[in-house]
Amino acid sequence: MSERFFSHISIRLIAAAIVLLSLFTTPAAAQTVNDQWSWTTQQPAEGWQERGFDESQWQRGQGGFGTRDTPGACVATEWNTDRIWLRKQITLTEVTAQPALLIHHDEDAVVYLNGQQIASFPGFLSSYQTVPLSAAAAALLTAGKHVLAVHCRQTNGGQFIDVHLIDATNPPRLPRTSSLVPFDTALTTTWGESVTAENAWTEYPRPRLVRDHWTCLNGHWELQFTPFQQLTAPQKWEQKILVPFAPESRLSGVRRMLDASEALWYRRTIIVSPVAETRTLLHFEAVDYECEVRVNGRIAGTHIGGHTPFSVDITDLVSAGENELIVRVVDATEEFQLRGKQVINPNGIWYTQVSGIWQTVWMETVPLQYLQDVVDTTSAERGTISVSPVGTNRLPIAVDVHDGETCVAAAEGEGTVILTIPDAKLWSPDSPHLYDLKIRLLSEEGSTLDTVRSYAGIRSVGRIRDAHGHWRMTLNGKPIFHWGPLDQGWWPDGLLPPHPMQRCCLISNGSGRRDST
């Protein structure tokens, strides 16, 4: 293993520790940096490092510069030649007591300030390091504009160069060192081409617990990117996004990456018609990664986790008519959080990151006492369906089981209700039969408080040993060969969410139930 590899591992461990520490401290606002450079790989004319040098023929690019997969580096502009010359203008509002260079360099990097050499670095680094300026170099600093210039060379392996003049007592959080434009591809489908704000995932989002009174909030929302530190809602909303597609995706209409140094803000108006003796719930099927929900300027709830649904009760925050809904999202893809195959610089088997709202947002009206969830289990041996309510304060439930239009079983009681199905039709890949469930929450007097629809397939999964002693999977008591195609679940136009017309083929018409075929 190379020295760079082990250094890279150490830096990741240190970064993880810093993130954990940050959870318990409130950092001061970090200084900002200018990361836009002029650069060339051709030997420039004499005086290239001076203030007045004509760099108009040089290229422009964002730091850092190098080749991808160089340890400790995240490349924004590719540099793969032997040498590179860089210049950028920086403006100091004041001279700090501890000026330093924040640098990640390759071989023999030389740094100039206003034409005078202030540092040189032999060899290479595998991570950013803070290097205090010498007294002579610090004496060159004044408030105002300066030119920072760098020359670096590379003779072997991966390469990288990036330099910043900083205050060592308050180091900056560097801008994203990769393009904010996602990987571009021409791949799409006829379904993706037909997506509009009117048909973007209009299906009922929770087929296991269906109620009639719900409102889909997918469609165009206002959008704004701000610095991470900003906690007040933006005054200007300069973009629109098609929810529920992530801003990195083509179907969102945005096609821009969210940086870890930024926050992503959503806004839209919701229409509420309050009904006495009911609650209004706002549901998010998935938001990546950490979000805060505000209704009419007040915090309704928060959530952490990019793949788990969550709900907030907004009854006491809304009034009849129009209400303002704002969602703030942050997503540090390659830092402390779980991310799967998402990376900032996708390549090979790694995929474009997904940030923000990427599944359906919706509202529903529920009674004061309602079924928060139902858990069903089945037994192929006994031909039974067992239904257990969640969040009912031990009130009884009534369950009807339908096979098509025919009610084949009914029962009620407190806790778990067990129903025996006559001549039960078992679920299998060859015969994927499903039963429809109607579940009612009852008052102590027997009146219906809440009603939901669900479904169940009767089957039992297990394992047995074959004649040779090997374990084999079973379905309904019989061995079954377990196989299936690998679905990576990443789409060229929607990224994590497929376009809605693809999902429509998985949903049966009318009931909102997922089609088991």
CB proximity list for 294: less than 8 A, separation 6 or greater:
233, 300, 324, 325, 326, 327, 328
DSSP codes, 444-456? TTS-EEEEEEEEE
CB 121 within 8 A of CB 106: no
pTM of the model: 0.69
**pLDDT in 10s for each residue of the chain, 517 residues:** 333 333 333 333 333 333 333 333 333 333 344 578 999 999 999 999 999 999 999 999 988 899 877 877 777 788 999 999 999 999 998 888 899 999 999 989 999 999 999 999 999 988 889 999 999 999 999 999 999 999 999 988 789 999 999 998 888 766 555 567 777 777 787 778 888 888 888 899 999 999 998 999 999 999 999 999 999 999 999 999 999 999 999 999 999 989 888 999 999 999 999 899 999 999 999 999 999 999 999 999 999 999 999 999 999 999 999 999 999 999 988 777 777 888 777 777 788 889 999 999 999 999 999 999 999 999 999 999 999 999 877 899 999 999 999 999 999 999 999 999 999 999 999 999 999 999 999 999 999 999 999 999 999 999 999 999 999 999 998 999 887 777 777 788 888 877 655 444 333 333 334 433 3
Question: Which of helix, strand or coil describes residue 420?
Answer: strand
d(C-alpha 507, C-alpha 156), whole Å: 55
**Please, what are the domains in the chain?**
3-167 (2.60.120.260), 190-367 (2.60.120.260), 373-461 (2.60.40.10)
| pLDDT at 490 (0 to 100) | 79
Asked if 163 and 101 count as a contact pair (C-beta separation under 8 A), the reply is yes
Please state the three-class secondary structure of 364-410 as a single string. Answer: EEEECCCCCEEEEEEECCCCEEEEEEECCCCCCEEEEEEECCEEEEE
CA atoms within 13 Å, Cβ hemisphere of 425: 14
Which residues are within 8 A (CB) of 498 and not within 5 positions of it... i.e. 6 or more apart? 491
Which two structure tokens, joined as six digits, stand for 204? 């009922």
Cβ–Cβ < 8 Å for 358, 287 = yes
Report d(CA 509, CA 504) in Å as an integer: 9
Write the single-letter amino acid at 289: Y
Structure tokens at 342: 């998402």
Cβ neighbours of residue 419 under 8 Å, at least 6 residues apart? Answer: 384, 385, 386, 387, 399, 401, 409, 410, 411
Query: What pLDDT, on a 0 to 100 scale, did the predictor assign at position 179?
Result: 63
What pLDDT score does 176 carry?
A: 56
CA gap 398, 232 in Å, rounded: 48
- The rounded distance, in Å, linking the Cα atoms of 302 and 285 is 14
Q: Is the peptide bond before 289 cis (omega within 30 degrees of 0)?
A: yes
Q: Of 494, 261, 482, which Cα lies nearest the Cα of 357?
A: 494
Nearest partner of 174 among 25, 377, 36, 12, judged by Cα: 36
Structure-token pair, residue 447: 């009146």
* pLDDT score recorded for residue 39: 96
Written as one string, the DSSP assignment of 3-59 is HHHHHHHHHHHHHHHHHHHHTTS-PPPPPP---EEEEESS-PPTTTTSTT---TTSE
CA separation, residue 19 to residues 12, 22, 23, 165, 235 (Å): 11, 5, 7, 24, 30
pLDDT of the residue at 175: 54
DSSP 238-304: -EEEEETS-TTSTTTT---PPPTTEEEEEEEEEEE---TTEEEEEEES-EESEEEEEETTEEEEEEE
